[in-house]
Amino acid sequence: MKFIFWISIISTAALIRANVLELTPETFEKTVGGKKPALVKFYAPWCGHCKNLAPVYDEVGELCHGKNIIIARIDADKYHEFGSKFGVKGYPTLMWFESNSKVGNPYKDGRDIDSLTKFIENKSGVKLNKKTTKQGALELTPNNFRKIVMDPKKDVLVEFYAPWCGHCKALEPIYTKIYQCFLPDKHVVIAKINADAYRDIAKEHGIEGYPTIKFFSKGTSEKTGIEYNGENTEDDIISFINANTGTMRIRGGGLSNKAGRIHEFDSVVNTISSSNIKEVISELKSLAKKSNNKYASYYIKVAEKITTSPNFVETEYQRLEKLLQKKLERSKYDDAQIRKNILSVFQIKKKHFSDEL
């Protein structure tokens, strides 16, 4: 299962994703049982319940950040013997470790954000300030369903749900994160409708169970929804949207390392050498005249820069990496990531080109 895209090394050599430490048996021994109490999730990558818990657990990590409380997880399927040492027999298993103790106390309450934060507050004595509830998916009614869903300029994902449905409740925090993920993409709408209350609309679209997710592609005002049949996990639903909209989002709202790259331009860059750099620039300019992609000019800029500054790609790549570690507006973050992606194409050719120079 993929997790949020920022990855940094900490002193214990554990990885941090969305303020949740990824542990191994070695880093567990160094991290748990110290001055800070810890909540540890023993999980398996293939476990559906683990995937459903992931966004909630990420939020717990965010709430505990800077509170001297460790929120961590360990792949107990990969490290089976280590999990067995703590009596782990199923996934996910959550355990609380007091400070200065490596004795785990199983967590047996609800797997929602309220239950988990209440438990941590009671155990640690630390008050966790829950964030204001994030704005969720657009709520549809019979009054706005057709106007929004059948908009020919919009790609629309609709969850048909029932308020009493347990699976719908489990999906809610995941669906909210998906809504947040695609906010920068103005042509993508993440919506939902109470199919139990508005049964005529549900019947019209062949809804027989809850939750049912359907995708309505732009291009016509008479859309036929494509039913989503994958797992109800953040990563799988994001992949489904990407495949149908051309977006390249990843968990957390970032962009994949292929976002913004233009195949035809990549192919030209892959032919670059010291002897044909002028021809490559000329060909890129020719392609740019036929392209509506605003990043076409960036390919040209990089190609021209390396003729006078051979280290430009490496220097600029490092600058963008540092920039991406800062808190940026979504549009600026996306722009920096796309430029970094394009630079990576030139990096592939960098050594060969530099040697020739």
CATH number at residue 189: 3.40.30.10
Does one domain contain both 117 and 33? yes
Whether 74 and 106 share a structural domain: yes
The domain that holds 327 is classified in CATH as: 1.20.1150
The pLDDT score that the predictor gives to residue 59 is: 85
User: Does one domain contain both 211 and 292?
Assistant: no
* Domain presence at residue 253: no
In a domain, 91, yes or no: yes
C-alpha–C-alpha distance, residues 235 and 250, integer Å: 7
Q: Provide the token pair at 150.
A: 């059948």
Q: Which domain holds residue 159?
A: 138-245
pTM: 0.60
Catalytic-labelled residue, pool 15, 47, 138, 226: 47
Known catalytic residue at 168? yes
The percentage of the chain sitting over the pLDDT mark of 70, rounded to a whole number, equals 90
Last residue of a domain, one of 89, 124, 159: 124
Residue 353: its pLDDT value, please? 53
Which band of pLDDT confidence, cut at 50, 70 and 90, is reported for residue 310?
A: confident
Does residue 79 share a domain with residue 51? Answer: yes
What the block records as the tokens of 309 is: 């500054």
Q: Is the same domain home to 150 and 205?
A: yes
Domain count for the chain: 3
Instruction: Point out the catalytic residue in the list 1, 165, 277, 320.
Output: 165
Whether residue 285 is found in the same domain as residue 240: no
Is there a single domain that holds both residue 232 and residue 301? no
State the chain's mean pLDDT as an integer.
89
252 pLDDT band (50/70/90 cuts)?
confident
Is-contact 268 300, C-beta < 8 A? no
Segments in 132-254 forming alpha helices (H): 145-149, 166-181, 199-204, 234-245
Among residues 14, 21, 44, 50, the one annotated as catalytic is 50
Q: Is the pLDDT of residue 269 over 90?
A: yes
Catalytic one among 74, 168, 255, 296? 168
Residue 279 is assigned to a structural domain of this protein: yes
Let me know if residue 6 belongs to a domain.
no
Q: Is 50 a catalytic residue?
A: yes
Compute the distance between CA of residue 259 and CA of residue 254 in angstroms, rounded to an integer.
10
Indicate the residue among 219, 245, 271 that finishes a domain: 245
317 in the same domain as 291: yes
Mean pLDDT to the nearest integer, 250-259 = 92
Per-residue pLDDT band for 18 (boundaries 50, 70, 90) equals: very low
Residue at a domain's end among 124, 149, 176? 124
Shared domain check, 74 and 157? no
> Per-residue pLDDT for 16 more than 60?
no
Ramachandran assignment for 68, one of left (phi > 0), alpha (psi -120 to 50 degrees), beta (any other): left
Domain membership of residue 255 (yes or no) is no
Average pLDDT over residues 137-151: 93
pLDDT reported for residue 134: 56
Q: Using one digit for the tens of pLDDT, what is the confidence trace for 177-194?
A: 999 999 999 999 999 999
- Is it the case that residue 199 has pLDDT exceeding 50? yes
Sign of CA dihedral 134, 136, 141, 143: positive
Given a cut of 70, whether residue 130 has pLDDT beyond it is no
Residue 133 lies in a domain: no
Residue 298 binned pLDDT confidence (cut-offs 50, 70, 90): very high
Asked whether residue 212 falls in the same domain as residue 306, the answer is no
pLDDT digits (tens, 9 = 90+) for 60-109: 998 998 899 999 999 999 999 999 999 999 999 999 999 999 999 999 98
User: Is residue 3 included in any domain, yes or no?
Assistant: no
Q: In 82-141, at which residue ranges do the beta strands (DSSP E only) sit? A: 93-97, 104-106, 138-140
Is the same domain home to 236 and 177? Answer: yes
Query: Does any domain span residue 61?
Result: yes
Is there a catalytic annotation at residue 181?
A: no
Residues 112 and 156 in one domain: no
Listed ranges 51-65, 248-262, 340-354; the one with the highest mean pLDDT: 248-262
The answer to whether residue 64 is catalytic is no
Q: Measured between alpha carbons, how far is 231 from 174 in angstroms, rounded to an integer?
A: 12
